[in-house]
């Protein structure tokens, strides 16, 4: 029996399929038997030369054979793919129980750590976390916050502007987290109790200022909210954050266009020996701005000021980190110096909790 006979062809092809060691070899086998010039196709072409009575029967045999071979190839392909996957999985296996190599041990940046501490404290007080975009429109960053185009407060913000778009609109990098107040009023009905930690940007750089820094905004809106609620919240926060009842806070009358009345809060500290320490000495470092939400801001957020009141504040997260962990220069925060990070950073398992200790 020669391979010209369907039966012999079948045996030969099936054996070749079985032996194909990878997908490429299998493809060669497919072409050899089923391709345009393949063995089976040659036999198909030969049908024309057969007498009509044999042609039909032979045609059926060959068609059945084609189906059988196609199926065998598909099965072999699936088996080869499964095998390859198993091999790859075995080769790429990672033993997650191995300890990290010493040079790969990362640290959690103090800003990230303090961010988590702040979230933990306010979550405990019943606040939820809100977010807003870094790239803002003039409306959200200024106008809705009661800072019209000619307002002098705009100069104080050292704003980074983008080029104007086709509509003549100049987007900007948000200079504070206060725009999240407006986004929140738009998306939520009062009572509102949120904090919004995030990045903020101003064209400013010295020992206590960096062009990118972090703030956490807080916004509370309800009926009958007073300065008393604001002051209590700030005191509770400071005690929890500095993990002592001894923090001295100074409430200073101030001005922000989006709050009325407004006050700034300083924390007492000392800078002796290049180290900052909280609760000692007679220096003060400003850590936050606060006040009662201005009626115009409530209106811009779609709320009726006769019905709703609120307080808001914005805290500098980086400042908090400097004070709590005695880090003298803010610029070093963003130098990505691994030695600095090893010294001031936290290990991954030092997750701040109120029960377990924030800085533990
Ligand atoms: N947005 C103000 C700032 O960046 C801080 C602030 C927030 C003041 C909320 C009052 C109320 O300086």
pLDDT digits (tens, 9 = 90+) for 29-39: 999 999 999 99
| pLDDT computed for residue 1 by the predictor | 41
313 pocket-lining for ligand 1 (C-beta < 6 Å) = yes
Of the candidates 290, 216, 209, 277, the residue with the CA atom closest to the CA atom of residue 248:
277
Tell me if 176 CB under 6 Å of ligand 1.
Answer: yes
Instruction: Judge if the beta carbon of residue 290 lies within 6 A of ligand 1.
Output: yes
Residue with tokens 């533990």: 360
Q: What is the pLDDT, as a whole number, of residue 104?
A: 67
Q: How far is the CA of 243 from the centre of ligand 1 (A)?
A: 24
310, 299 Cβ separation under 8 angstroms: no
Mean pLDDT of 330-337: 88
Q: Please give the C-alpha separations between residue 17 and each of 24, 69, 70, 75, 164, in angstroms, as whole numbers.
A: 11, 8, 10, 10, 65
- Which segment, 41-50, 225-234, 314-323, is predicted with the most confidence on average? 225-234
pLDDT at 246 (0 to 100) = 80
Which range is most confident: 13-22, 335-344, 345-354?
13-22
Contact 220, 193 (CB under 8 A): yes
- Residue 309 Cβ inside 6 Å of ligand 1? The answer reads no
Question: Which of 175, 178, 320 best tests ligand 1's pocket when mutated (most atoms within 8 Å of CB)?
Answer: 178
Question: What is the pLDDT confidence band of residue 26, given thresholds at 50, 70 and 90?
Answer: very high
pLDDT the model gives residue 322: 87
Q: What percent of the chain has pLDDT over 70?
A: 97
**259 touches ligand 1 (CB under 6 Å):** yes
Candidate from 94-103, 200-209, 279-288 with smallest mean pLDDT: 94-103
DSSP track, 283-326: EEEEEEEEEEEPHHHHHHTT--TTT-EEEEEEEEHHHHHHHHHT
- Whether pLDDT at 2 is above 60: no
DSSP label of 142: T
Q: Is 159 in the pocket of ligand 1 (CB under 6 A)?
A: no
**CA torsion, ordered 257, 262, 267, 271, to nearest 10 deg:** 40
DSSP 151: -
Q: What's the CA gap between 109 and 165, in Å, rounded?
A: 36
Q: Is the CB of 314 under 6 A from ligand 1?
A: yes
- Average pLDDT in the chain: 90
Q: Which of 85-89, 206-210, 224-228 has the lowest mean pLDDT?
A: 206-210
If you measure from the C-alpha of residue 176 to the centroid of ligand 1, how many angstroms do you get, rounded to a whole number? 7
pLDDT at 88: 93
For the stretch 32-37, contacts whose Cβ atoms lie closer than 8 Å and that sit 24 or more positions apart, written own/partner, are 33/9, 33/69, 34/66, 34/69, 34/70, 34/73
What is the model's pLDDT at position 257?
A: 94
Q: Which atom of ligand 1 is nearest to the CA of 290?
A: 10
Give alpha helix (H) positions in the chain.
6-19, 23-34, 39-46, 52-91, 110-124, 138-141, 153-156, 179-187, 227-242, 295-300, 317-325, 338-344
Least confident span in 77-81, 215-219, 285-289, 292-296: 285-289
CB atoms within 10 A of CB 247: 18
Q: What is the pLDDT of residue 360?
A: 65
- Residue 289 Cβ < 6 Å to ligand 1: yes
Pick 155 or 73 by higher pLDDT.
73
Q: How far is the CA of 314 from the centre of ligand 1 (A)?
A: 4
Q: Which of 198, 194, 170, 171 is nearest to 184 (CA)?
A: 194
Output the CA 275–ligand 1 centroid distance in Å. Answer: 27
pLDDT of 82 above 90? yes
Q: Calculate how far, in angstroms, residue 246's C-alpha sits from the geometric centre of ligand 1.
A: 25
What average pLDDT does the segment 258-272 reach?
Answer: 90
**Residue 262 pLDDT class (50, 70, 90 cuts):** very high
In a 3-state reduction of DSSP, which class is residue 68? helix
Buried-exposed string 193-216: b where 16+ CB fall within 10 A, e elsewhere: bbbbbbebbbeeeeebbbeebbbb
CATH code of the domain made up of 110-344? 3.30.930.10
- Overall average pLDDT of the 324-337 stretch: 86
User: Is residue 198 within 6 Å of ligand 1 at its C-beta?
Assistant: no
What's the gap in Å between 290 CA and the centre of ligand 1? 6
Residue nearest to atom 10 of ligand 1 (CA): 290
Inform me whether the pLDDT recorded for 270 exceeds 50: yes
Nearest to 333 by CA among 20, 102, 109, 77: 109
Write the DSSP assignment of 11-56 as a string of letters.
Answer: HHHHHHHHH--SHHHHHHHHHHHHSTTSHHHHHHHHGGGS-HHHHH
Residue nearest to atom 12 of ligand 1 (CA): 289
112 CA distance to ligand 1 middle (Å): 21
Highest mean pLDDT among 3-12, 98-107, 258-267: 258-267
- 280 CA to middle of ligand 1, Å? 26
* pLDDT grade for 4, boundaries at 50, 70 and 90: low
Q: Cβ distance 175 to 159 under 8 Å?
A: yes
Q: What is the mean pLDDT of residues 45-59?
A: 88
Confidence of residue 3 (pLDDT cuts 50, 70, 90): low
- Whether residue 277 is predicted with pLDDT greater than 80 in this model: the reply is no
pLDDT digit string, tens, across residues 238-261: 989 988 888 889 999 999 999 999
pLDDT, residue 103, reads: 65
Question: How many A from CA of 329 to the centre of ligand 1?
Answer: 22
């Amino acid at each position: 029996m020669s391979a010209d006979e369907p039966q012999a062809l079948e045996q030969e092809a099936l054996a070749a399929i079985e032996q194909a060691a990878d997908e490429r070899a299998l493809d060669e086998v497919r072409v050899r038997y089923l391709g345009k010039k393949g063995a089976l196709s040659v036999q198909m072409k030969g049908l024309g030369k057969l007498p009509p009575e044999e042609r039909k029967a032979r045609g059926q045999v060959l068609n059945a054979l084609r189906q059988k071979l196609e199926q065998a190839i598909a099965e072999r392909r699936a088996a080869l793919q499964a095998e390859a996957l198993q091999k790859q999985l075995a080769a790429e296996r990672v033993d997650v129980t191995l300890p990290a190599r010493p040079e790969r041990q990362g640290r959690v940046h103090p800003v990230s750590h303090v961010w988590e501490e702040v979230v933990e404290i306010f979550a405990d007080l019943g606040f939820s976390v809100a977010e807003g975009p870094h790239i803002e429109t003039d409306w959200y960053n200024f106008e809705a916050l009661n800072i019209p185009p000619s307002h002098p407060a705009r100069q104080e913000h050292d704003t980074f502007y983008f080029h104007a778009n086709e509509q003549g609109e100049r987007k900007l990098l948000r200079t504070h987290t206060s725009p999240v107040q407006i986004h929140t009023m738009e998306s939520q009905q009062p009572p509102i109790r949120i904090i919004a930690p995030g990045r903020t940007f101003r064209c400013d750089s010295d020992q206590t200022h960096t062009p990118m820094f972090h703030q956490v905004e807080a916004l509370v809106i309800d009926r009958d909210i007073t300065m008393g609620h604001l002051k209590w919240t700030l005191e509770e926060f400071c005690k929890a954050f500095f993990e002592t009842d001894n923090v001295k806070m100074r409430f200073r009358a101030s001005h922000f266009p989006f709050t009325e009345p407004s006050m700034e809060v300083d924390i007492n500290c000392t800078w002796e020996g290049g180290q900052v320490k909280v609760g000692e000495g007679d220096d003060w470092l400003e850590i936050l701005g606060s006040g009662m939400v201005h009626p115009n801001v409530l209106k811009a957020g779609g709320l009726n000021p006769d019905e709703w009141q609120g307080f808001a504040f914005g805290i500098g997260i980086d400042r908090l980190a400097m004070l709590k962990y005695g880090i003298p220069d803010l610029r070093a925060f963003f130098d990505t110096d691994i030695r600095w990070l090893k010294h001031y950073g936290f290990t991954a398992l030092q997750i701040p909790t109120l029960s377990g200790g924030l800085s533990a």
